[in-house]
Structure 1
Amino acid sequence: MTSGDTQARRVSDVVHERMRQEILGGRLEPGAAVPSERMLAERFGVNRHAVREALKRLEQAGLVQISQGGPTRVLDWRESGGLEVLLDLIDDPGELPPQELVRAVLELRACIGTDAARRCAERADRATRAEVARLARETARLAGDAPASAAPAAGQHGGVEPGDDATPAAAVTAYDELWREIVRGAGNLAYRLALNSLLAALASFPLLAAALVPTDGARLAALGDAVAAGDPAAAEAAARALLEADEPPR
C-alpha cells in the first residue's frame, strides 16, 4: 500500500467512524436517506473518494444500502448487521457496557460454548481433548483454585498452588485459550469466527473479562475431564454450568 493509499484510508476512517456513530446512536434512523457523497465531502472536508470508501465499509457491516442511481439509505442494524456491530457498540473501552449488551454477549457465548464443548468431545482427536483438559487446569491454577481432589491431566499434578504468574491477566488469557481450543476441536468455522468477535468485545472491558474467569476449579476440571474422556453429554453439561452462571439476571 502506498503512502497516498494509507492517507486516503485514514481520511475515510474518520468519515466511517462519524457516520457509524450517527447510525448506531439513532441520529440517522432506519430508512433515512444518507446525504449525498458531495454533501458528505463538504461536511467532513474530505474528497469524495474517502466518502465512497467509508460508505462501502458501512454497507459491508450491514448499516447502509447503496443504490446505483438512488440515495444510500440507512438499514436497521439489528436486522442486517453482523457480530462486528457488537464491537462498534462499545464506545468507551474500560467501562462496563450497557446491561443489555453484556447479557447479549454472555448469552451468545453460553449458547456457542455449550454446543462447542459437546462437539469437541465428540469430534476432536485425543491430543486436542487432552490439551483442553490441560488448559482447564491451568486456568484453575491461575485463578487460584486448582482442585487437589480431581484427577490431574497427563503430565500434571493435582492441587498445584498458584505461582507468581497467577495474575488476573494471565487467568483471562488461559481461559480464552481454553475456549479457543474447545471451539477449534468442535470443527465449526462459524463458531470460531463468532468466538473471535466475542473475545474482542470482552477484551475492551478487562475488569469484566477478569470477573468472568471461573474461580471454581472443580467446575473447570469437570469440563476438561469430560472433553478429555470424549463424553459429549457431560462436556455440554459442564460447559453450561460454567457459562450460564455468568449471565446477569433480567
Structure 2
Amino acid sequence: MTSDPVRDTLSAMTQRHIRREAVSDQLFALLRDRILGGQAPPGTPLTAERDLAAEFGVNRHAVREAVKRLQQARLVEVSHGGRTLVLDWRRTAGLDLAMGIAAADRGLSTGDLTRDALEMRACVGADAARLCAIRCSRQAAAEIVRTADRYADCGPDLADLGTADIAWWRLIVEGSGNLAYLLAFNSLVGGTLPVADVPDDLRTAELLDVEAHVRLAEHIAAREARAAERLARELLSRSVPATAGKAVR
C-alpha cells in the first residue's frame, strides 16, 4: 500500500492531540493544499463527502465544513446536483488565499510568497504615493513632511526605523484616499501576509535612506505626483529579493 502524504500529515496532527473542533480547519488546509498542488486538477470532481470522511477518519460534518470553506475561498464550486468541482484557483481565488497560505505550516513556498508580497507592496506604495500627491489635504501633506523630518531621529536601530517607516507609510496610504490600498496595507504590515516577517536586515538599504524619505514627502507636498510615484517605487523595490520568480500558470 502506497503512502499518502496528506493522510500521513493528518494522522500525525491527530496524534499530537489537536482539538476536535479544529478538525475541519485541518481538513480544509489539507484539501486546499491538494488543490494548489495539482493533485485535484481544475474541472475534476472533488472526492465525495463520504469518501473523504473515510479517508481521513473524520465525521461528515467536518467534511461539509471544510468543503464550505473551500467554496468560500473559490477553490471549488458546488453544483445544483450536489457534485463539487475543483476550480482553477488562479482565475477564481482572491488575496485571502495568499493570507491562508502564509498562515499555514505547509503548502506553497512561503519564500516565493514573501517575494510576491514585497513586489505587491512596491506597486501599491508607488501608486499610493502618486494618489496621495494628488488627493491629500494640506494638513495631511504637512504631517507627512514632519514625520519624514523626524524619521532620522528613530535610527540607527533598524527595528525602530521599521516601526517609524510603517507609521509614515500609513499616512501616505491614508492620504491616497484608496480604501482597497489601505486594506491591503493593513494585511501587509499586520502579519496576515509574510511581509511582516521579513528580517529588517533585508530592508536595510530602504530603511536607512533617510534622504529618500524626506524627498518623497516633499514631492507629495509639492503635488509632484509622477516624481512621488517613481521615488516610492525605487525606494520600496530595494527590499524585494533579487530572485527570478516563476510565472503564474
TM-score band, normalised by the shorter chain?
Answer: 0.7 to 0.9
Taking a change above 3 Å as real, the CA distance of residues 130 and 210 of structure 1, as seen in their structure-2 partners, is farther
Of 199, 205, 208, 2:197 maps to 205
Where in structure 1 are there 5+ consecutive unaligned residues?
1-6, 145-165
What is the SS of the residue equivalent to 1:181?
Answer: helix
Confirm or deny that 1:215 pairs with 2:215: no
| Identity level (%) | 43
Q: 1:203, 1:102 → 2: CA distance?
A: 6
- CA-to-partner distance for each residue in 1:124-181, whole Å, 9 max, x for gaps? 112322332344345444342xxxxxxxxxxxxxxxxxxxxx4x33332222222222
Is the CA contact 1:140–1:214 (under 8 Å) kept in the aligned structure 2?
no
Q: 1:210, 1:129 → 2: CA distance?
A: 29
Partner of residue 64, structure 1: 76
Where in structure 2 are there 5+ consecutive unaligned residues?
1-18, 245-249
* Further displaced range: 215-224 or 11-20: 11-20
Is the CA contact 1:12–1:53 (under 8 Å) kept in the aligned structure 2?
yes
Q: 1:125, 1:9 → 2: CA distance?
A: 49
Is the CA contact 2:75–2:92 (under 8 Å) kept in the aligned structure 1?
yes
Cα deviation for residue 80 of structure 1 reads 1.4
What is the correspondence of 1:138-177 to structure 2 with a 5 Å cutoff? 138-144=150-156, 166=157, 168-177=158-167
Is the CA contact 2:73–2:97 (under 8 Å) kept in the aligned structure 1?
yes
What is the SS of the residue equivalent to 1:246?
Answer: coil
Cα deviation for residue 53 of structure 1 reads 2.2
Q: 2:164, 2:201 → 1: CA distance?
A: 11
Cα deviation for residue 219 of structure 1 reads 0.7
Partner of residue 230, structure 1: 223
- CA-to-partner distance for each residue in 1:27-70, whole Å, 9 max, x for gaps? 22222321122222333333333322222222222211122214
Cα deviation for residue 186 of structure 1 reads 0.8
Cα deviation for residue 222 of structure 1 reads 1.0
Partner of residue 188, structure 1: 178
Between Structure 1 and Structure 2, the one with more helix by share is: 2
Is the CA contact 2:114–2:195 (under 8 Å) kept in the aligned structure 1?
no
Partner of residue 238, structure 2: 245
Partner of residue 110, structure 2: 97
* Further displaced range: 53-62 or 214-223: 53-62
TM-score, length-scaled by structure 2: 0.74
Q: 2:184, 2:172 → 1: CA distance?
A: 13
Q: 1:49, 1:75 → 2: CA distance?
A: 22
Partner of residue 23, structure 1: 35
Is the CA contact 2:110–2:194 (under 8 Å) kept in the aligned structure 1?
no
Is the CA contact 1:117–1:182 (under 8 Å) kept in the aligned structure 2?
yes
Q: How many residues align?
A: 218
Q: 2:79, 2:217 → 1: CA distance?
A: 51
**Amino acid of the structure 2 residue aligned with 1:97:** T
